[in-house]
Amino acid sequence: MTLTESFSVPIGSSAHAFHLKGVDDRMHSLADYAGSKVLIVIFMCNHCPYVQAIIDRLISIQEEYSDRSVQLIGINSNDDLDYPKDDFEHMEIFSTEHAMNFPYLRDDTQEVARVYQAKCTPDIFVYDSERALRYHGRIDDCWKDEKRAVKNDLRDALDAILDGREVSKKQFPAMGCSIKWRNHV
């Protein structure tokens, strides 16, 4: 497992449209979440130890912030031929096992990951009500152990957006496994 950091995507960039199938067997699009004040798009997968280490934190954030009109969306763009544990069936299992409380979508073509410039799992993008990127970075300063985290970057960014304050300009990249791109046709 090689540690990969997210690309630096310009703050203020617009969220990109998508139309993807979720583990709930429904199609989801960016427009479906127009009513949310904050939209968090997380590129993630099932097998990555970095995702596995923070999945409960993501679920907690969705639970804690849902009444403040925050919506998380997980998107799995990994190649499921070379990485079969990231296929749709395993996504359904992963979602059920973790009692995920946010949509988990499959990006079969990998086009959504490419247009967002996602690079790793997890790769976290936070958009305001105008769907302008306000935060792109890590969940906190200790991905391995939430109890050891001192700086809760994602929660701090959410609180700033929801309170009408500027999000800190000092943003640390997300880190995790690289997205598994298709090398075959």
Domain positions in the chain are: 4-178
Among 110, 122, 106, residue whose Cα is nearest residue 57:
122
pLDDT profile of the chain (185 residues), mean per 10: 82 98 98 98 96 97 97 98 96 98 98 97 98 96 84 96 95 94 76
Instruction: Report pTM.
Output: 0.96
Closest CA to 138 of 122, 119, 160, 116: 122
Q: In this predicted structure, what is the pLDDT of residue 5?
A: 83
Pick the CATH number of 4-178 from 3.40.640.10, 3.40.50.1370, 2.130.10.10, 3.40.30.10: 3.40.30.10
Angle between helices 153-162 and 49-65 (to 10 degrees): 30
Q: What pLDDT is recorded for position 184?
A: 59
Strand ordering across the sheet containing 175-178: 4-5, 175-178, 120-121
pLDDT of residue 148: 87
According to DSSP, residue 100 is labeled -
The rounded radius of gyration (Å) of the Cα atoms in the chain is 15
Dmax (CA) for the chain in angstroms is 47
Strand arrangement of the beta sheet that strand 38-43 belongs to? 27-29, 19-22, 104-106, 70-76, 38-43, 123-127, 133-136
What pLDDT does residue 1 have?
A: 57
> What is the per-residue pLDDT for 120?
96
Closest Cα to residue 123, out of 143, 144, 96? 143
